[in-house]
């Protein structure tokens, strides 16, 4: 009998607010340890949390973008557990009534799309950071991250393969970046994922799931799920049973291993957070947030196809990030004659060179206006497309503008008939045998003469004009 894989994902997204969820401490990444804390986020007695309005708005915006229900009244609860990086002894989260419920994302699947349900998004606060490496018998605790606002985005168990899980995660990652609700840097732990994985035979109830914890790279998530699926199938086929437990992915060994028995840790003794009354927001506030919704990746992609006539592929490449899409739009505005040429030069030439230099589009030494002027020089035949690539290299190296580089390197295309005629004359005199053969009826030699003239001009002669003048002069 065949096996079916069932995957549900819980994604923790750190919101990019300036301050923490419940106090006015900075959330800036990379500060000196424990310099961004206060009695509230340190869990000192007698302190009261006050919720950050920006965190509420970002959660609502995300909910609207996944077509979800926004609960105008939601509640906060305490999840109790003991760990040194959790100074309060509990996490403030939302259990029975989260701010967002019942949404979905559509991911590309075959020729069409597959709709994946999102159960809920709730707000909660992050824990601090524990460090163990190179320490003997002790751990170090930095509480700068304690209290930073998180959204936990919980999907339905709708994914049927590791590839679907990755497609969902990539789309969600792109979405939170476009919405500017998170910086979503995976290496910094701002976008991390738990995967609930089980296997069963189609038509039978779902199997017992294992929870793969805290993964922060797409590659590792795929490896971890694939490994876990294989482990579960083998276990069941050998007569064993999958245990309901948390497992950690060991990226060095490429396998998952049991973290701890969940029975003890699972007893979180949730109860309503007495320090926080219900969170109420009005429909008017929700509408205002909706009105400020930026263009989403799918809409942007479709607009690039219709407005600029781009291929599906180019539109997809150029809408990977908001910054890149904005860069393209500036370029197309500065070189309106040919949006496709803009797309080709940005996607194939500039991005390729920037990637090689490990440079992001926002740090490009060549501006959209500068690249547009290079495309203008191709369009008006000042330089050929081939030479333009060399000019772009030099622009990237020196930071000089198009016309300066063309001038400095003497790359201007030669379109002066007198100069081209002189070059042709020189070529004809240097190749009397070929000339005689051509005039004797060997038409194929025309290409040879074009090549020779281009060589004499060191690639700068206007090829159209060379053709035109050669036809005249070869016959005379």
Partner 1 sequence: MDIDVQKVAMLARIRLTDAEANELGPQLSNILGYVDQLQEVDTEGVVETAHPHDAAMPLRADVVTNTNRREALQKPAPKIESGLYVVPKVIE
Using CB under 8 A, list all residues that contact partner 1. 17-19, 23-26, 32-39, 42, 50-56, 73, 75, 80, 82-84, 130-132, 135, 137-143, 248, 259-260, 267, 269, 272, 274, 276-280
- Token duo for residue 201: 């035979």
Classify 389 as helix, strand or coil.
Answer: helix
CB of 267: closest distance to partner 1 in angstroms?
6
Among candidate residues 36, 136, 140, the one with its CA nearest the CA of residue 84: 140
Strands 191-200 and 69-70: unpaired
Q: Which residue do the tokens 């509480």 mark?
A: 143
Task: Pick the closer one to partner 1 by CB: 139 or 311.
Answer: 139
Task: Pick the closer one to partner 1 by CB: 56 or 392.
Answer: 56
Task: Pick the closer one to partner 1 by CB: 76 or 304.
Answer: 76
CB of 57: closest distance to partner 1 in angstroms?
9
**Gap between the Cα atoms of 85 and 36, Å rounded:** 14
CB of 270: closest distance to partner 1 in angstroms?
12
CB of 109: closest distance to partner 1 in angstroms?
36
Task: Pick the closer one to partner 1 by CB: 28 or 416.
Answer: 28
Task: Pick the closer one to partner 1 by CB: 267 or 393.
Answer: 267
Q: Enumerate residues 6+ apart whose C-beta is below 8 A from 117.
A: 102, 103, 104, 155, 156, 158
CB of 88: closest distance to partner 1 in angstroms?
14
CB of 215: closest distance to partner 1 in angstroms?
15
**Gap between the Cα atoms of 99 and 96, Å rounded:** 10
Among candidate residues 55, 65, 67, the one with its CA nearest the CA of residue 174: 65
- Token duo for residue 126: 């992050």
CB of 116: closest distance to partner 1 in angstroms?
30
**Gap between the Cα atoms of 52 and 227, Å rounded:** 40
CB of 84: closest distance to partner 1 in angstroms?
4
Cβ–Cβ < 8 Å for 317, 338: no
**Gap between the Cα atoms of 317 and 321, Å rounded:** 9
Q: Which residue do the tokens 């009998």 mark?
A: 1
CB of 283: closest distance to partner 1 in angstroms?
14
Among candidate residues 100, 222, 104, the one with its CA nearest the CA of residue 155: 104
Cβ–Cβ < 8 Å for 457, 407: no
Task: Pick the closer one to partner 1 by CB: 267 or 397.
Answer: 267
**Gap between the Cα atoms of 196 and 209, Å rounded:** 6
CB of 37: closest distance to partner 1 in angstroms?
6
Task: Pick the closer one to partner 1 by CB: 18 or 436.
Answer: 18
Q: What is the DSSP letter of 100?
A: E
Task: Pick the closer one to partner 1 by CB: 23 or 100.
Answer: 23
Element (H, E) at 285: helix 283-291
**Measured on CA atoms in the order 226, 228, 231, 235, is the torsion positive or negative?**
negative
Task: Pick the closer one to partner 1 by CB: 85 or 401.
Answer: 85
Strands 245-250 and 210-215: parallel
**Gap between the Cα atoms of 13 and 456, Å rounded:** 61
Task: Pick the closer one to partner 1 by CB: 17 or 232.
Answer: 17
């Amino acid at each position: 009998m065949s096996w079916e894989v069932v995957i549900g994902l819980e994604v923790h997204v750190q919101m990019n607010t300036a301050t923490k969820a419940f106090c006015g401490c900075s959330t800036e990444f990379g500060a000196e340890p424990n310099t961004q804390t206060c009695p509230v986020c340190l869990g000192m007695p007698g302190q009261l949390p006050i919720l950050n309005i920006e965190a509420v708005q970002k959660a609502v915006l995300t909910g609207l973008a996944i077509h979800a229900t926004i609960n105008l009244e939601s509640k906060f609860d305490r999840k109790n557990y003991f760990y040194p990086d959790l100074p309060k002894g509990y996490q403030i989260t939302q259990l029975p009534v989260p701010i967002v419920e019942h949404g979905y994302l559509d991911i590309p699947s075959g020729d069409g799309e597959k709709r994946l349900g999102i159960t809920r998004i709730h707000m909660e606060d992050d824990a601090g950071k524990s460090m163990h490496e190179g320490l003997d018998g002790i751990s170090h605790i930095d509480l700068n991250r304690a209290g930073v606002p998180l959204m936990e985005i919980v999907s339905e168990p709708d994914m049927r393969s590791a590839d679907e899980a990755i497609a969902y995660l990539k789309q969600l990652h792109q979405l939170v970046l476009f919405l500017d609700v998170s910086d979503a840097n995976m290496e910094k732990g701002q976008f991390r994922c738990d995967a609930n994985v089980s296997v069963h035979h189609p038509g039978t109830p779902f199997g017992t799931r294992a929870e793969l914890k805290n993964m922060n790279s797409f590659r590792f998530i795929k490896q971890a799920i694939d490994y876990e699926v294989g482990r579960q199938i083998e276990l069941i086929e050998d007569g064993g049973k999958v245990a309901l437990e948390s497992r950690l992915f060991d990226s060095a060994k490429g396998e998952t291993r049991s973290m701890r028995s969940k029975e003890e840790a699972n007893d979180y003794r949730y109860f309503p957070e007495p320090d926080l009354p219900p969170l109420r927001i009005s429909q008017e506030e929700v509408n205002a947030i909706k009105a400020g919704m930026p263009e989403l990746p799918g809409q942007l992609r479709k607009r690039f196809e219709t407005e600029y006539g781009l291929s599906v592929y180019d539109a997809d490449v150029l809408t990977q990030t908001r910054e890149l899409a904005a860069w393209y739009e500036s370029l197309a505005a500065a070189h309106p004659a040919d949006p496709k040429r803009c797309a080709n030069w940005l996607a194939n030439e500039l991005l390729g060179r920037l990637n090689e230099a490990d440079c992001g589009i926002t740090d490009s030494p060549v501006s959209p206006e500068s690249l547009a002027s290079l495309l203008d020089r191709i369009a008006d035949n000042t330089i050929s497309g081939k030479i333009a690539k060399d000019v772009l290299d030099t622009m990237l190296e020196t930071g000089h503008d198009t016309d300066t580089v063309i001038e400095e390197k003497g790359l201007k295309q030669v379109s002066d008939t007198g100069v081209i005629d002189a070059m042709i004359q020189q070529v004809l005199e240097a190749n009397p045998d070929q000339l005689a053969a051509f005039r004797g009826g060997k038409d194929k030699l025309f290409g040879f003469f074009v090549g020779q003239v281009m060589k004499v001009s060191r690639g700068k002669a206007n090829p159209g004009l060379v053709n035109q003048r050669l036809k005249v002069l070869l016959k005379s």
